Amino acid sequence: MTRLGAGITEAIIHDYGTSGFLSRLSDPFWFQALGAVMGMDWHSSGITTSVMGALKRGLSPKANELGIYICGGRGRFSRNTPNELRMLGESRGFDAEALVRTSRLTARIDNNAIADGFQIYLHNFVVTSRGEWAVVQQGLNDKTGMARRYHWHSAAVRDFVAEPHTGIVGAHQGTIMNLVDTKAKPAQSALLEIAHEAPEKTLQAARHLQLPRHHDVRPKDVDLKRLGAVLAVAYERDLHDFAELLLLENLGPRTLQSLALVAEVVHGAPSRFSDPARFSFAHGGKDRHPFPVPLKTYDESLNVLRTALDAAKVGDDEKLDGFRRLNGFVKKVERNLQPEADFASVISHETAISASLDGRSVFDDEPKRTFYTPRQRTLF
């Protein structure tokens, strides 16, 4: 995940700059799709910790080269954000104290001004060499055990107390008090004057993603025409040959399937990420949904992406441009042919080839339990 996340980020920065990456990072639908294509459980709150941790590990050694810095993290690492920003200020010439104030303000707004019962436990502050920033943070509701993720992007913030978020991820849980709603100005004034209690407001966000409780991927979670186009390009002979030519690689169908979805994460428009579950068909999920992570395919995807990025560093952009061409080709197939995936057949096929691709999940690492009885020993 560290290597794939870093590679996807490098590809985005190469074509769209650091601002383009922050714009994507602050979109909850894109973020969920990124986590899914990296092999995380597509629906889970654990995507936040895993993706941001992987990005911080993968990008930190290249931070000065790429011009992007990820601070903070989960628990005690979130509390270290101010110190990390001050160290960056000394080494890179940032106005560190201004960024520290922004970091604290975003945390306080999501922890206190939005009275939704969620307490912030993860805070990542991402800043570029130009001072542009994004925040990804997550809160936990102890009573329900549910999590909620909040996204910010400096380019979208006009007023910190008037709907400053670019997106929020979480299930609706009734009426809450949101003091940064645009309609809450009277309440804000009243609080400042200590005149009376603020009225309750319904939480609204620029992009609000609600994820289901079920762990498995179901047909209703996926745009089957979009998935069908990816599978057609990967497995139909004529389409596969042309798609392979676009990338200038000798690729098998399973790797091409993964790379088509990786290419969409790099180049896709915001509207393409309305069904983040679809991106789990790139590399599966660590919880075996929709299928175990095919490690051989994962490594092949990484190799193609890394080779393209290394070539781009010396001025040869052809391989990296292949991802853009592949994404465009899949969209044309989707628009013109409108193939629809047979969901049950796709899952059956992936299950059948899983062992040959070294399919793995977190459950494969669980230790076997030994139970003893007075007369026999049974191993489960």
The pLDDT value given to residue 112? 78
Write the pLDDT tens digit of every residue in 66-97.
Answer: 999 999 999 999 999 999 999 999 998 889 99
Provide the H-helix boundaries in 157-223.
Answer: 185-193
- Average pLDDT across the chain, whole number: 86
CA–CA dist 128, 365 (Å, integer): 38
The structure tokens 């005690």 sit at 76
Q: What is the pTM of this model?
A: 0.86
Query: At 294, is the pLDDT very low, low, confident or very high (cuts 50, 70, 90)?
Result: very high
Write the pLDDT tens digit of every residue in 173-219.
Answer: 544 445 445 554 554 454 344 333 333 332 333 466 877 778 889 99
Residue 220: count other Cβ atoms within 10 Å of its Cβ.
Answer: 10
- Listed residue (71, 25, 68) closest to 47, CA to CA: 25
- DSSP per-residue string spanning 89-148: HHHH---HHHHHHHHHHHHHIIIIIEESS-EEEEEEEEEETTS-EEEEEEEE-TTT--EE
Query: At 368, is the pLDDT very low, low, confident or very high (cuts 50, 70, 90)?
Result: low
Q: Which helix (H) or strand (E) holds 246?
A: helix 237-247
Q: Are strands 114-115 and 177-178 parallel, antiparallel or unpaired?
A: antiparallel
- DSSP per-residue string spanning 32-76: HHHHHHTTS-TT-THHHHHHHHHHHHHHGGGHHHHTEEEEEEETH
CA–CA dist 161, 82 (Å, integer): 22
The pLDDT value given to residue 365? 72
Mean pLDDT in residue range 28-45 = 91
